[in-house]
Amino acid sequence: MSDAAGTPLDPTILSGERRQVTVLFADMVGFTSISERLGEEGTFALIQPIYALMSAAVKESGGFVKDFTGDGIMALFGAPEALEDAPLRACRAALAIHERLAAAVSFIEALHGVRPQMRVGINSGLAVITHIGGEGGPVTAIGDTVNLASRLQALAEPGTTYLSEATQRLVQGLVDSALAGEQTIKGKTESQKVYRLNGLRQGATRFDAAVGLGLSTYVGRERELDLLDRALAEARAGLRVIDIVAEPGMGKSRLLYEFRQRVADKQSFILAGSCSPDGQQTPFLPFIEIVRGSFRVCAGEDEIVVARQLALGLDALGLRSPENLGLLINLLGLKPPDGLLAGLDGVLIGLRTRDLLHNLLEARCRLSQVVMLIEDLHWADSGSQEVLDRIIEGSANSGLIVLHTRRPEYEPSWRNKPDVTTLLLEPLPAGDIRRLIQLRLGVDALPESLARQVIEKAEGNALFAEEILSFLTERGALRIIDGNVEFGDAAAPAALPASLQSLLTARVDRLAPKDRGLLQAAAVIGRRFNPQLLAVVADAEDARARSGSTRWRVGGVFVQARFGSRRSLSKPADQSPRGPAFEDR
């Protein structure tokens, strides 16, 4: 028995876990002829820096280099550490490999007389992740997901990346890609759609992708929207901060989107920025977006045009100075003209940038009411957190309302201030989920079996409900014919959509090992379990000590035994593992 890369495996020492991963294979074009021409030592001298280049691109994107394949690499995203956005990270790594190799190719040619190019293939799906030789040994991945990624790499044109249809679905709207045709792939009974990756869409989020594809009719949250409307009116007399807290998929971004549509005609100046898991190393990331929007500057514009726009904006706010212009140009990642930041080192530039961002906001508030939206604050970089600290802790700006979204595990220092209102988004009632399903499908009536399955699996999470519907449709279990829903209950897949599996697995991976073990043991038993049985199976002392209780808190997850009930995993306080996710493990 061997893995996809040919590594011999001893089944007696393997223990695996099935999980959603993205696999990347990169291979050098024409390696055989190159190595024949250069010889062993010359080939080694050529390939070593290229290995380093590819490894750096993978690691910087959050991936793990599983193998060096002689003339390339195999990398995993989502294992051994689960990632919510593994497919997008793999795409970023692939593009970085091509870009960095292209930048170095002239130097390589001067040394070795060859101009190397890479082919890259990326696929996403379920694989068995295991440690060779037991816990602590090298990690490997086994399964068809790995094989297909390798086949795609072999099909790719020199200097390009090919995506599987599964990966394309997960990054649609976040990348620029094009259908490269249907290919006959060894081991596959049907031809496979293949996509060529051309680039990333700068600043695009999952919600932006959903907007591009078309949003469903908004359901529920009337109370929350009314609260935001009242806060907007109250902000005219003084600072108001709305701290929107919810688990992934509960509708934080959609709530802000709907509120933004409401205030668009109320003469409020809107500033918007978002944080991201891979942007925590970028200082002031959400404020970079805010500055671009405020000064009407687009990414990729000519530097002279950008400088002119920034200068005009500073003039309008009464803050024009050579230093302020230089600070903003530098903030946007461009090189300021000589002399604008003379005498300032990196530390001083950071401090002055913090001051300028605060001053820009105060100047803007003197002109009109300002609505500032910051999404995913739990991923904020330290510089942005400091700017927000100063805005909220030390500002009495009338006309300013700050709305930020976050997950429950992150708690900002200002959450208990009098001007701050925390808005916790609870799961949607079953009736709202039912209405969402009907509106999404455009029908007046639903098969009761479909409504029941989606309501039970989504557990009030609007994103989960929509992803499950898409998943059922893609798998052929759900069809709309002449305005009527045909649902093949028996054909409905038991697994969750890949996007939800990645999200949930990433959340569970952040639990302490002891808590994670307890949660996994509960999942193995099933949706109904006896707490004493869980204590025995998990062999957890704290579970035994509380075995008389019917509700335990495990690393922020509420695990509830409901005798005679259909579910054993209740509403989470800090994580989002739902029953179906664990049935699939």
- 469 pLDDT more than 50: yes
The pTM of this model reads 0.74
Buried b (16+ CB within 10 A) or exposed e, 56-65: ebbeebbbbb
Residue 498: band (very low, low, confident or very high) from pLDDT cuts 50, 70, 90: low
Rounded to 10 degrees, the C-alpha dihedral 505/507/511/514 comes to: -30
What is the structure's pLDDT at 563? 33
Backbone angles phi, psi at 470, to 5 degrees: -60, -40
Q: How far apart are alpha carbons 451 and 457 in whole angstroms?
A: 10
- Tell me which amino acid residue 154 is: A
Residue 143: band (very low, low, confident or very high) from pLDDT cuts 50, 70, 90: confident
Residue 349: band (very low, low, confident or very high) from pLDDT cuts 50, 70, 90: very high
Tell me what the pLDDT averaged over the chain comes to. Answer: 82
- Tell me which amino acid residue 421 is: T
Q: How far apart are alpha carbons 353 and 194 in whole angstroms?
A: 45
**41-99: pLDDT as tens digits:** 888 999 999 999 999 999 999 999 988 877 889 999 988 888 888 999 999 999 999 99
Rounded to 10 degrees, the C-alpha dihedral 126/130/136/138 comes to: -90
**256-281: pLDDT as tens digits:** 999 999 887 778 899 999 998 877 88
Residue 292: band (very low, low, confident or very high) from pLDDT cuts 50, 70, 90: very high
